[in-house]
Amino acid sequence: MSRPARLTLKVVAVLVAVAVLAIGGFALYGQILLDRVHRVVIKSEAPQQSGQPINILLIGNNTRTGLNPAEAKSFGSASQVGGGRADVSMIAHFNPKTKQVTLLSIPRDLFMPIPGTKQLQRVDAALNPTAKTGGQENPDKLVRTIEYDLGIPIQHYVELNFDTFQGVVNALGGIRMYFPMPVRDRESGLNVTTPGCRTLNGFEALQVVRARHLDYQTPQGVWVRDPLGDLARTRRDHIFLKVLAEQVKAKGLSNPVQDLKLLQNIYPYLTLDSAFSESELLSLVLTYRHTDPATILTGTLPIAFEGGNTGYVYNGANYGAIVFPQEPADTQMMSRLAGVTTPSIPPSSIEVAVVNGSHSATLAGQTAQGLQALGYRATQAGSTTPTANPAESIIYYTPGNIAKAEALKASLGGSVIMGEVPSTGFGAPIELLVGDQLAVAQAVQSASSSTSTTSPVATSTTASANTASTAATGTTATPPVTIPDVTAATQVNTSQSPQPWDPRACPT
């Protein structure tokens, strides 16, 4: 293999994240550094099929273990911030047919079921060590959570931490970014007082990508908080990665000494799944070596904030500000950026026990009626005390029934997510726990065709649950049942368009 081909291994990494860049050095330096990479067994990884797209879960671990005193002062020590969470979670999707690379971020505060239980937690906490794991982090649980709750198949796992990130930037001699206006984040330590282009070292770059409480100064001298918090941080991280990719291409692929230095700063802190082989890495790189970082599509799962300043109370515990998923926008985003497709399964083959977990005594019955109108074998199966306010809607399914759960989710709108359990407890393979923010699709028959289609229809929380409506393209085939959806006031725009205050590439 020629030197240019070997070096391309590092180019691809940069196309999606620092993580893939790091592992690209395998083919170049072989076993010299391979033994320094930490490997983990991921039992739940989806099978990889030849010629088919793959998804790589890229994780930024916020563990404080190993930080030096200066870093611990800014980010907290291991005793102050214990464990390790998935501070950043991204799905890098590689499509061999289109040669396209896309990047989908999962908000760290997304509230999701713990695999195998009916308990919920933030997705970032799925990685956290527990007594059951012997104090070790649990990447397999994190992969299962994303696969089982969102329906995104994961073929490989790559994890970095603070030291990995800083080492990449420092090995490149810093990264140049343009700051359109002064910005600061008192928690990450970011403090840029004057606009302009500047070179960031690894520590300063880390302050940028970890800024979740960013303030920017307007031309009038007023400091304003970026209202989207962690979602805004994700947007800026996507911008940062593209800037880093361009600079690695320009600086890191022509100097063997710098190449080796780059890898030496990465390997000791990198974690890969044990099935991610050198030959597979090489194949991946050769397929996508011509991808332009500027063309990579990025996005974040659409969500709604809950909890606000008072925090979200679930089962008596305050979880602070968390976020809920939003359908059908989430499925549409996952289809576009992670290759997720909705299974084509007739509703008549799907048995659903509908359980009321909302604050309305009639909501489960209305939901069951709406699903029956679509052809589902839906029955009302009692109620349970709401665990929170608002309560999240959850599709619980037994092993082997995720495809049916996904098909059911495609008929729903609002705040709804999935979770695998050993048994629903209601005799049916699928249970729909109805929360406070849910909409059932309406069966719509075109005026010019007998073909029926469905589309999620939502009303405001003040609208009648039984108000009839007419679709713009035809008339309803059955009396529609609409369920109150999340209000527009709580919905969040997760657009990836840079804001005027976001740092970006320096002007050329």
Rounded Cα distance between 286 and 6, Å, is 9
- Enumerate long-range contacts of 315-322, CB under 8 Å, 24 or more apart: 315/119, 315/387, 315/388, 319/111, 319/122, 320/109, 321/109, 321/229, 322/109, 322/110, 322/111, 322/122
| Residues carrying CATH 3.30.420.590, the chain | 3-165+236-324
**Average pLDDT of the residues in 106-132:** 85
Question: Using one digit for the tens of pLDDT, what is the confidence trace for 290-343?
Answer: 777 778 888 899 988 787 778 999 999 999 889 999 999 999 999 999 999 999
Inter-CA distances, 495 with 238, 306, 333, 386, 506, Å: 12, 19, 11, 32, 22
Strand partners, 394: 417, 433
Rounded Cα distance between 234 and 89, Å, is 9
**Average pLDDT of the residues in 393-405:** 97
Inter-CA distances, 408 with 151, 177, 209, 397, Å: 12, 45, 37, 11
pLDDT at 129: 56
Rounded Cα distance between 158 and 277, Å, is 12
Counting residues of the chain whose pLDDT is more than 70, the rounded percentage is 70
Tokens of 12: 């691809």
pLDDT at 168: 77
DSSP 41: -
Give residues with Cβ within 8 angstroms of 268, minimum separation 6. 36, 163
Question: Using one digit for the tens of pLDDT, what is the confidence trace for 487-499?
Answer: 332 344 445 578 9
Count the alpha carbons within 13 Å of 215 in the hemisphere toward its beta carbon. Answer: 12
Backbone phi, then psi, for 49, in 5-degree steps? Answer: -110, 135
Question: Using one digit for the tens of pLDDT, what is the confidence trace for 193-243?
Answer: 999 999 999 889 989 988 989 999 999 999 999 988 888 888 898 888 888
Rounded Cα distance between 172 and 244, Å, is 10
pLDDT at 450: 34
Domain range 3-165+236-324, CATH class: alpha beta
Region label for 337, one of left (φ > 0), alpha (ψ between -120 and 50) or beta (otherwise): alpha
Rounded Cα distance between 33 and 26, Å, is 8
Rounded Cα distance between 364 and 139, Å, is 36
